[in-house]
Amino acid sequence: MRQYEASSDVIDDFVCKLTEPLERTLDTSSLSEFRNNSLFHLDCLVEEFLVSGNSEEVSVALAIEAFGPADKAAMAMLDEWCRGRRPSAFSRSSASAVWWSFACFGIASGLSLLAIEFATFCSNGLLEEAAARDLYMIAPLLAGIAVGYCVPTGNLRALCFAAIPLVCHVIAANALFGPFNDGPGLPGLFVLWWIPAGAIALIGTAWLRRSRPLRRTAFPSKEARQ
Amino acid sequence: MEKPSDIGSDLLRGSTPSLVLAVLHEGPAHGYAIAKRINKAAESPLQLKQGTLYPVLHGLERDGFVTGEWEHPEGERPRKVYAITPSGNAELVRRTNEWKRFAASVNTVLGVKFETV
């Protein structure tokens, strides 16, 4: 039973790798269809190799080999999806993911910055400045969780997804609200806290989402196969 | 020595939609059955990397050449069964004729003569 579960996890991991580059680019139904078709196909291949007398581990390895490399299948799907839509090379790979990331981090940092401004200059005690600063520290974690949930992606890309919008935000905030009294305080905060905290939250949530089981029905037991 | 799977990976990529339509012309099938038919019918020279089949099916469905319907058999995994449409049949005829012309031209240039079995 344990052996079977391990094999099933290998297939699940492969399908996750297969669909990961397509998240937030393909629409939900196309992505779900691709995922379910691939799961069914791989299970059939495993069954085929098991019937030929191979062990489960070998059958799973052979099934994955017959299916072909995950990145090639994903890129073929992306090419087919983009056919007729004429997207740029950038938007083909990750544009919607970057925009989603930008929206989450941008809104979070903008709102928390506004809260500090409000607490400092306008609230008349309604909002403590300390509370606003706490919100400013929590905001990258919330934004990271939101992006990680929607864009389950690799660590390096995740760091880019956290860094790109934050760097843009620092430039925009400096242009709109500067000059700041605290000199390099805001950019420093972004570099030292927002980017690592946001990226860690993003990677953690993406990992949690990736590790959710894909299957709704159990893999057939050995008894059922016989 | 040349491996069978080396023979046609580039050629196969462009021909996969035609092969899929030809398989579906004989009756509805899910993706696994289509891949198995293609790999079996060609007796090894065309070893399709099966993961690339679904992008092709997605494109054919979007173009209206095939339709797909999910089946949920009791106790088994759901699978999408594809069927060819009338426009898919017309497309298959068009692609077959195009292939014949192409193959004839290439054979002429290469000096290949077919041996009838």
At how many degrees (to 10) do helices A56-67 and A28-51 cross? Answer: 130
Q: Which CATH code fits B4-110?
A: 1.10.10.10
B97 in helix, strand or coil?
Answer: helix
Question: In the structure, what pLDDT confidence band is assigned to residue B10 with cuts at 50, 70 and 90?
Answer: low
Helix H or strand E encompassing B4: none
Indicate whether this model's pTM tops 0.80. no
**Do A63 and A8 contact (CB within 8 A), yes or no?**
no
**Do B80 and B30 contact (CB within 8 A), yes or no?**
yes
Average pLDDT of the segment spanning A118-144: 80
- Residue B29 is classified by DSSP as E
**Do A161 and A101 contact (CB within 8 A), yes or no?**
yes
CA distance B33 to chain A (A): 9
Kindly tell me if the per-residue pLDDT of A177 is higher than 70. Answer: no
Helix H or strand E encompassing A131: helix A129-150
Write out pLDDT tens, residues B80-101. Answer: 999 999 999 999 999 999 989 9
> What's the pLDDT score for residue A95?
59
Write out pLDDT tens, residues A82-124. Answer: 776 655 555 555 556 677 778 888 888 888 878 877 877 777 7
Number of neighbours of residue B39 by Cβ within 10 angstroms: 16
Q: Do B52 and A80 touch (CB under 8 A)?
A: no
Average pLDDT of the segment spanning A143-153: 79
What are the sequence ranges of the domains in chain B?
Answer: 4-110
> What's the pLDDT score for residue A219?
44
Contacts B31 to A, Cβ<8 Å: 37, 40-41
> What's the pLDDT score for residue B21?
95
From the list A67, A70, A81, the residue facing B50 with the nearest CB is A67
Q: How far is the CA of B100 from the CAs of A17, A78, A163, B24, B106, in angstroms?
A: 39, 30, 54, 20, 10
CA distance B86 to chain A (A): 22
Total CB pairs under 8 A between chain A and B: 72
**B102 or A100: which leads in pLDDT:** B102
Please state, rounded to an integer, the average pLDDT across all residues of chain A: 75
Q: Do A41 and B50 touch (CB under 8 A)?
A: yes
